[in-house]
Every structure is written in C-alpha cells, then in structure tokens.
Structure 1
Amino acid sequence: MSSQTQPKRVLVSVSDKTDLLSFVQKLVELGFEVVSTGGTRKHLQEAGVLVVDISEYTEFPEIMDGRVKTLHPRVHGGLLGRPDLESDVAAMGEHGIQPFQMVVCNLYPFEATVARPDVTVAEAIENIDIG
C-alpha cells in the first residue's frame, strides 16, 4: 500500500513530559494519529488530544504494573516493517499490523536515580526502561 493512502501514525511514550503537548498538537495538525501509553496517554487526553490507547491498539492490556506495554508484535512490526518490501507489507496485512512513521520517547531518569545515596535496588530496577 502507498504511504499516501495510510494514515500517519506516531507512538508516544515518555517519562519527561516537558513541552510534549505542543509537539504532539503539531503532529496532530499534520495529520498524525497518536498512539500512546498509560501516563503519557492520560496527560495528552486531559489536554484534549485524541489518543489511541496502546492497549486498544494491541488488543492486549498493559501488564506487570505497566512494565510491559509496547513489547508487542503489532508495535514492533509497525516500527520495523519495511513499506517497500512486499513480504513485510504482506506479513503486516496478515497480522493486522499498521506502520508507525514516528516514535516519540525518552527514558526514565536511571542515572539520576542511581546517583542518589539513598537509592534502593528496587528503585533502581524500576528506572530501567525497556518498553
């Protein structure tokens, strides 16, 4: 399928939400559909941005206290699928995978967390961000 016939889609999942709203609003103005995770989705929705919840998109709930939310074939396939390769396009179609044109993300503040003298191992582990 031509990228001109498909909607533009962005995955948004951030820890630091500084200046996020104005950036995402601009993406919406440019025609992007926004797919987002828990806290980021809530932040955007409260500001009036139309957002597709990642669990709705994947048809699978966020699990393990939100530790597993974007680790899903519909997400990774949408990020890694090559629109110019017929076999990728066919596989995506077969599995209901839609392409993502952009990812907006940042990581938890792991370095700042582990630099604290009173940090616990549990706090450090919770600041390891893999998806």
Structure 2
Amino acid sequence: MKIEKINWISEIAQEAEVFLTDGEYKCMAFCQPCNYDVGMSISTALHSFMTKNIMLSYSENCLLKQIDSERFPHKCTAIVKNVSSSLVSVGKFVIELDSIIPAGVNDGDIIDFECARIDLW
C-alpha cells in the first residue's frame, strides 16, 4: 500500500485522513499519531473500528468503498485470511477486524462487513 495524500484534521494532535492505494483499490484511513509522508509504503495491517454486519458474501469480487465520500464509514467485501485473528484482505490491503468473524466462516471465504472507520496505526 502506498500513501497518496494526507489531509490534516489537526497537525497539533497529529490526526489525519490518510488516502491509501494498492494500485487497484483505494481507502481513506484515520491516523493518529500520523508520522507518515505522502509516497510512503505501508506494510502493516489496517484496523476496522466498530465493525458490524459481518456475513458471508454472495459476491466474488472484493470491494473497499466509503459509504459517504466525506466521512469515514466503509463497506467492504473481503477475503478471509485468518478467521482466528479476524484478518481479511481486499487486494493488497490487509485489515484486522475488531469483531469476531462468525462461526461457519472459513479461511478463504468472502465476507461483507461495514465499519465506522478504518484506522492506520
């Protein structure tokens, strides 16, 4: 993942909206403290905050979309990488969910979920 753009919410508090891309998918993440620069590569997992509505997907295509372009909530369709660690992926984005993936979902399955925010730590 690479940082395309940073919009500072508060430079004093080191809070920023960080716009990431893997070349195919894009994501806006909240970051605090933000010690990153535009153009930097990120190899760590992102983190979903207030994850809800986790369910098996009917789609075969991944999705990483802001629900409202001016806000943080996202709707995602992702491949489960590790059920026990609640790790999923969308393209090269790896996201750690803050909720347990429901029983009956296995590694390699595709799930849908929503979250209030995606964080970059």
How would you bin the TM-score normalised by the shorter chain? under 0.3
TM-score (structure 1 length as normaliser): 0.23
Instruction: Pick the structure with more strand per residue.
Output: 2
In proportion to residue count, which structure has more helix? Answer: 1
Taking structure 2 as the reference length, the TM-score comes to: 0.25
